[in-house]
Amino acid sequence: MSTPALRLTDVRKSFGSTAVIMGVSLEVAVGSRHAIIGPNGAGKTTLFNLISGRFPVTAGTIALHGRPIDGLAPHEINRRGLSRSFQVTSIFPRMTVFENIRCGLLWSQGYKYSFWQLVGGQRALNEAAARLLADVNLEARRDVPAGLLSYAEQRALEIGITIAGGANTILLDEPTAGMSRSEAGYAVALIRRISAGKTLVMVEHDMSVVFDLADVVTVLVYGQVIASGPPAEIRANRAVQDAYLGAPAEVA
């Protein structure tokens, strides 16, 4: 079998004496859409924070395409092709929508910390930003400060920033949280579109979104994986139903 996009081996995380992640091993195949579900406090977001380098792991290893990334700083992990969004919207609120997207592109286009060229004059950069803006359907809001966008628009913008750098592994933390039905439907379509050909890992509470999008579902309860497999298998899993999904009737 080929090297997985992400491989977590016995990853542990404690905050002080409180163990939050207690030995998670997980493989995410290249090109798959992988959902992580679990009740509140199961450690889903913490797991994302460990993978993306926001927190250091207490023990265990994390490998991206076979290369270890645990212990690296977030920006180093990002440069290796892993990008993430946040549960609480994380954008650049005082900059315009276009500027937000363009900032997401700068590093991947090789601009680094350059201070001798104007961003406005970089044709390829601006065209790429305009394309992305169209991808996330925010062209009409191009010059609006991002902080003034509606909630759903901000979520779309964040997805835009997340994919801007061309990362091949994308972590989305509750991308449809707090959205109305129609907004969530739109977001799912957007995620399906932008994750084509990429590896997607997402934390999601909305089961209809999970079973709609994911190829593989991993269930995390109290910092441990209790089940992992195709959606149909997870739906039928008794342990999962007991721990998380509640009565089978509700799931169906």
Partner 1 sequence: MSGGAIRTAARPVAADGAVSFLRRQWPWLAALAFAVVVPWFSYDWSTGRHSGFIVSMLSQIGISIVFALSYNMLMGQAGLLSFGHAVFLGLGGYVTAHVLNATKGGAVPLPLELTPLAGALGGLGFAIVLGYFATKQRATAFAMITLGIGELITSCALMFQTFFGGEGGVSTNRMTGHSLFGLGYGAPIHVYYLIVAWTALSVAGMLFLTRTPLGRMANATRDNFERAQFVGYDPRMVRFFQFALSGLFAGIAGALYTLTYEIVTYDTVAGPMSANALLMTYIGGVGVFAGPVVGAVLIVLLQSWVSLLSNSWLVYAGVLFILMVTFAPMGLTGLVLMHQPIWRAGRMGRLVGPYLRLLVPALLVVLGFVLAVELCSFLTIGAAQGKSFTLSRITIDPRGAGAWLVAGLLLVGGGLCLRAAMRGFGVAWSAVTEDVKRAEVRA
Q: Which is closer to partner 1, CB of 6 or CB of 164?
A: 164
Question: Which one, of 103, 84, 107, lies nearest residue 93 by Cα?
Answer: 103
- Smallest gap, in angstroms, from Cβ of residue 54 to partner 1? 8
* Binding of partner 1 by 52 (CB under 8 A): yes
What is the distance in angstroms between the CA of the first residue and the CA of the last residue of the chain?
A: 33
Q: Which is closer to partner 1, CB of 62 or CB of 243?
A: 62
Handedness of CA 124, 126, 129, 135 (dihedral sign): negative
* Binding of partner 1 by 211 (CB under 8 A): no
Q: 170 φ, ψ to 5°?
A: -125, 130
- Smallest gap, in angstroms, from Cβ of residue 199 to partner 1? 17
- Smallest gap, in angstroms, from Cβ of residue 156 to partner 1? 15
β-sheet with 33-37: strand ranges across:
82-84, 169-173, 199-203, 33-37, 216-221, 224-229
- Smallest gap, in angstroms, from Cβ of residue 200 to partner 1? 16
Site string for partner 1, 105-124 (x = CB under 8 A): -xxx--xxxxxxxxxx----
Render the burial of 2-24: b for 16+ CB within 10 Å, e for the rest.
eebbbbbbebbbeeeeeebbeeb
* Binding of partner 1 by 143 (CB under 8 A): no
Tokens of 40: 């509140």
> From the CB of residue 235, how many other CB atoms can be counted at a distance below 10 Å?
18
Span from 23-31, 55-63, 70-78, 211-219 in contact with partner 1 (CB under 8 A): 70-78
Q: 144 φ, ψ to 5°?
A: -85, 135
Q: Which is closer to partner 1, CB of 73 or CB of 236?
A: 73
73-112: which residues touch partner 1 (CB under 8 A)?
A: 73-75, 78-79, 83-84, 86, 90-95, 99, 102-104, 106-108, 111-112
Q: Which residues bind partner 1 (CB under 8 A)?
A: 52, 54, 73-75, 78-79, 83-84, 86, 90-95, 99, 102-104, 106-108, 111-120, 161-162, 164-165
